[in-house]
């Protein structure tokens, strides 16, 4: 017959019991879980960012969190993790950590809205999608230069609504041709009409 030992189990951190696996007085074996304990002094929020946005977000950026049950409250936190790998839908996991509020306490599992503040120093060079000649993988555009249409190879980073973000091949202020490209060849004479 086995022997029994009365014991007190102490958690390594303060928290709230979210699940209990055994009742008081029951026998347990070493390694068996007794409870699930959640520390909600800080909350971790997991969200997905699209491919168009993931390149703008970095760990350490500030996040503003709101919840419907406290419409008057804003919770401030930080981006603590940005994944380098997306899923099959090109969504990338991000984690934001916020301290829980004593005045407006949130429970684990609450739905929230997250706004990540991206510094204004992030600049994007955007062109209309209709300026594109070819596909986004083999992108070119015609540049209006000295009365001629010059075919230029560019690199597209992502879509931004109806526009495309260009990461190389163009400079700010250059004029791209947005209509009539089907009738152009490299070096064609053109007349630029500004809209």
pLDDT tens column, 6-17: 777 788 877 788
Residue 131 has pLDDT above 70, yes or no: yes
**Comma-separated ranges of CATH 2.40.30.170 domains in the chain:** 42-116
What's the confidence (pLDDT) of residue 72? 94
For domain 42-116, the question of CATH label 2.40.30.170 is answered with: yes
Average pLDDT of the residues of the chain:
86
- In this prediction, residue 122 has a pLDDT band, given cuts at 50, 70 and 90, of low
pLDDT at 121: 58
Q: Which of 13-17, 40-44, 124-128, 166-170 has the lowest mean pLDDT?
A: 13-17
DSSP state of 133: B
What long-range pairs does 113-116 form, CB within 8 A, spacing at least 24? 113/65, 113/66, 113/67, 114/45, 114/47, 114/63, 114/64, 114/65, 115/63, 115/64, 115/65, 115/66, 116/57, 116/61, 116/62, 116/63, 116/79
CATH 3.40.50.720 fits 125-189, yes or no: no
pLDDT of residue 195: 61
| CA atoms lying within 13 Å on the CB side of residue 8 | 2
Q: Which part of the chain has CATH 2.40.420.20?
A: 125-189
Mean pLDDT of the region 68-85? 94
* 120: confidence class by pLDDT, cuts 50, 70, 90: low
Q: Which residue has the tokens 């300026």?
A: 131
Interval 102-119: pLDDT, tens: 999 998 889 999 999 887
């Amino acid at each position: 017959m086995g022997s029994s030992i009365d014991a007190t189990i102490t958690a390594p951190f303060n928290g709230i019991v979210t699940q209990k696996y055994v009742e008081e007085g029951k026998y347990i074996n070493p390694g068996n879980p007794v409870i699930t304990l959640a520390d909600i002094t800080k909350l971790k929020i997991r969200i997905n960012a699209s491919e168009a946005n993931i390149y703008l977000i970095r760990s350490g950026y500030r996040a503003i969190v709101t919840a419907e049950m406290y419409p008057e409250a804003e919770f401030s936190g930080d981006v603590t993790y940005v994944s380098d790998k997306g899923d099959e839908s090109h969504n990338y996991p991000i984690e934001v950590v916020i301290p829980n509020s004593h005045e407006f306490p949130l429970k684990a599992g609450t739905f929230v809205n997250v706004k990540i503040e991206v510094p204004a120093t992030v600049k994007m060079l955007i062109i209309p999608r209709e300026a594109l000649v070819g596909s986004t993988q083999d992108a070119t555009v015609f540049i209006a230069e000295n009365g001629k249409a010059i075919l230029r190879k560019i690199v597209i980073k992502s879509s931004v609504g109806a526009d495309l973000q260009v990461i190389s091949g163009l400079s700010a202020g250059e004029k791209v041709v947005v209509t009539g490209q089907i009738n152009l060849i490299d070096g064609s004479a053109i007349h630029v009409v500004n809209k």
